[in-house]
Structures are given as structure tokens and as C-alpha cells.
Amino acid sequence: MPYPTDPLILSGVWASVILTLMVYSYVLYKETPVFRFAEHTYISASLAISVVVAYQTLSSNAFLPISQGDMTYLIPIVLGLLLYTLPFREVRWVSRYPLAFIVGVGTGIAIRGSVHAQMVNQVLAAITLPKAPQPIDWFNFLFSLVAFLTSTSYFIFTREHTGVLKIPTQLGRYMIMLALGSYFGNTILFRMSMLSGRVEEILKVFGIIPWR
């Protein structure tokens, strides 16, 4: 692909790279007004997009049904507006009603969903024998089972981790470290791919690598 020549696109890509360098000035040099400007620009843009998208969503999914005659949608709209009393101390108590509603629904749904998927299914998966097992499958099954049981024993806080609990909890710590180490490795992939995306953009716009 050739380097863009359209003024609108060109101005956009250069603005994007200049803003990137403004943000990186904080890391690669020190905090400057240039970084603060970029930071505040981002905050205002993300707040603006929240308002616009929220309005569009409400138009489609709340105001439209009201315009079609379904007045029950007035109830959540009124409750939603009552949320805006939260920042004001004198009338803050009004916002507790919509908050209670959201918290009740969210809590109920989280409980009912997690019992099966995150508790029952996890125990079943841990104790399910491998199908058509090779020796390595048996090793993996036993390793996972032992890791699960010993790591879970680490989270027993009603007894001190001494005596019969000493070895399983110690082993459990090692298993948790194994899991966290894996998480750390994947976090690095995530952070590095984010960073390389921006580096590529800078190189493209400065013409050091071909535009693609």
C-alpha cells in the first residue's frame, strides 16, 4: 500500500503519531505539560464517547418502545435519572433505590451463574478420568487433581497450616506460583504486542517501514 496522500488521512495519522510521542515523552523522558495535554485529551474524548453511545443505546432500547406505546419503560428511565442524585450529599439517599436494584439483579445473576460453571463444573472437570488414556494423560490428570486439591487446601484459613496441613499447603503454594508464572508470561505477550503496535505505527508514519 502506498503512503497516504489524502490530506484528511495524512493529518489523522500524523496527529496519531504526535500524540503517541507526547504520551511516551512521560516514560522516555519525564512528565511534561505535553504529556498532561495528551492525557486530558484522552479523558475528554472517552467521556464524550460514553455520553454519545449511552444516548444512542437509550434511544434504541428505551425511548423507541415508549414512542411505540410501551410506557413500562418509563420506570427504568426514572430510576436511571435518580442515579444522578449520587454526587449530591443532601439527596444522595434517592440514588440508593436504583443502586439497590442494579446490585440485586447483578448479585442474583452472578450467584446463579457461578455455582454451576465455576464450582460444580470445575470439581467435575478435576475428577473426570481421561478418556482413552495414554500414560501422559494419567500423569496430567493426577497432576491437575493434586494441584487442585493442594491449592484449595492453601485457602483453608480456619486451621493453622501445620501438622497434617503443612505439606499439602506448601505444595499448594508451589502450584499457585506455577499458575501465576504462566499468567505473568501471558501478560508479557499482551503488553509487548500493545507496545509493538504503537512502535509499528511510528515507524510507518515516519516512512522508515513501508505503509501497510
Partner 1 sequence: MAEVDRRVLYWVMFIALAIPFINPLGLPVPITEMTKAVYDKVESLGPKNIALFSIAGGVSAWPEIAPSMVAVMRHLVKREVKIVVWGFFTDQDITVDMITSNVPELSTKYKYGEDWVYMGYLAGGETAVAALASDVHSVFKADKYGTPTEKLPLIQRVKSAKDVDLVLTVDTGSYITYYIRHWNVGKGTPVAEIGIAMQADQVVFYPANLVGLLIGVRGGAEYEKMIGRLGGGTITMDAINISHLLFIIVIALANIGYVMTRRKK
Partner 2 sequence: MSSILRRREIILFLTGIVGGLMIFEYFFAVKEAAAVSSTIQKWAIIISTFALGLGIITAFRVHLSHVKKRTKGQWFFSAWLMGFFVLLTVIGLWNTKFVVYDWTFKNVYVALSTTLYAITGFYIFSAAYRAFRVRNIEAAILIVSGALILLRNAPIGEAIWKGFPILGEWVLMKGQVGGMRTLTFVAAVGLVAFGIRTLLGMERGYYGGGE
Joined grid coordinates for residue 11: 493529518
- SS3 for 10-28 is HHHHHHHHHHHHHHHHHHH
Minimal distance in Å, beta carbon 111 to partner 2? 4
Minimal distance in Å, beta carbon 159 to partner 2? 16
12 lies in the binding site for partner 1 (CB under 8 A): no
Contacts for 105 with CB less than 8 Å, ≥ 6 apart: none
32 lies in the binding site for partner 1 (CB under 8 A): no
166 lies in the binding site for partner 1 (CB under 8 A): no
Provide φ and ψ at 175, rounded to 5°.
-65, -40
Residue selected from 11, 59, 140, 170 as contacting partner 1 according to rule CB under 8 A? 59
Minimal distance in Å, beta carbon 151 to partner 1? 12
Q: Do the Cβ atoms of 92 and 85 come closer than 8 Å? A: yes
Q: Do the Cβ atoms of 153 and 168 come closer than 8 Å? A: yes
Which residues in this chain contact partner 1 in the complex, by CB under 8 A? 24, 27-29, 46, 49-50, 53-54, 56-57, 59-61, 64-65, 102, 105-106, 109-110, 113-114, 116-118, 121-122, 125, 179, 182-183, 186-190, 192-200, 202-203, 208-209, 212
